[in-house]
């Protein structure tokens, strides 16, 4: 385990990020409401520059035309290549089933049983198949420190 001082705490205000290069690895360090986290700047889908994507949250409503609630602001990064969304704190990908459209075909074969998907009870988002690499981050005095294996 190696420790790397990235910057001063004041250089990454809440809601902001800094992409740094550590030992040949590009890593995004995020300040989420005062908590720092780090994620590899490489999307596990096809290798896109994940941390260059827009940081946002989840939109949720209980019905079409209803009032939208914006949750988890600043916790979700959207990969700029194909739009997969990742939790910057855990690296887990999440999918909004209502926003995913695929072409459907009639088929004469019975589909296999549906797999129980893990659903976030607050947002209705479904856990996706990818998990980006994350690293421990802590603050020592006024420095932001990232630990690498
Ligand atoms: S490379 Fe990131 S979503 Fe495809």
The residues spanned by each domain of the chain are: 2-98+116-148
Q: What is the pLDDT of residue 97?
A: 63
Q: What is the pLDDT of residue 118?
A: 83
Ligand 1 shell residues, CB under 6 Å: 43, 45-48, 79, 81-82, 84
| d(CA 144, ligand 1 centre) in Å | 28
Lowest mean pLDDT across 84-88, 103-107, 109-113, 139-143 = 109-113
Q: Does domain 2-98+116-148 have CATH number 3.30.70.3420?
A: no
The residues near 78 (Cβ < 8 Å, ≥ 6 apart) are 53, 54, 55, 56, 84, 85, 86
- Tokens 């949750």 belong to 71
pTM of the model: 0.82
Average pLDDT, the chain: 87
Q: What is the pLDDT of residue 93?
A: 92
Ligand 1 atom 3 nearest Cα: 82
Q: For residue range 29-71, what is the model confidence (pLDDT) as tens digits?
A: 999 999 999 999 999 999 999 999 999 988 877 788 888 888 8
Cβ atoms of 97 and 120 within 8 Å: the answer is no
Q: Where are the beta strands (DSSP E) in 97-142?
A: 126-131, 134-135, 137-140
Q: What is the pLDDT of residue 111?
A: 47
Return the structure tokens found at 112: 């296999």
Return the structure tokens found at 147: 């630990």
| d(CA 58, ligand 1 centre) in Å | 18
Confidence grade of residue 108 (pLDDT, cut at 50, 70, 90): low
């Amino acid at each position: 385990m190696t420790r790397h001082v990235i910057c001063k705490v004041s250089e990454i205000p809440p809601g902001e990020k800094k992409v740094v290069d550590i030992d040949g690895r590009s890593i995004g360090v995020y300040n989420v409401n005062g908590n720092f986290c780090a994620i590899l700047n490489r999307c596990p889908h096809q290798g896109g520059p994940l941390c260059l994507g827009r940081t946002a949250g989840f939109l949720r409503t209980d019905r079409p035309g209803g009032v939208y609630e914006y949750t988890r602001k600043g916790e979700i990064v959207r990969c700029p290549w194909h739009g997969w969304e990742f939790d910057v704190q855990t690296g887990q990908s999440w999918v909004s089933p209502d926003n995913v459209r695929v072409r459907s075909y009639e088929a004469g074969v019975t589909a296999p049983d549906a797999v129980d998907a893990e659903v976030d009870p607050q947002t209705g988002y479904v856990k996706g198949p990818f998990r980006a690499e994350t690293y421990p981050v802590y603050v020592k005095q006024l420095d932001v420190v990232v630990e690498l294996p």
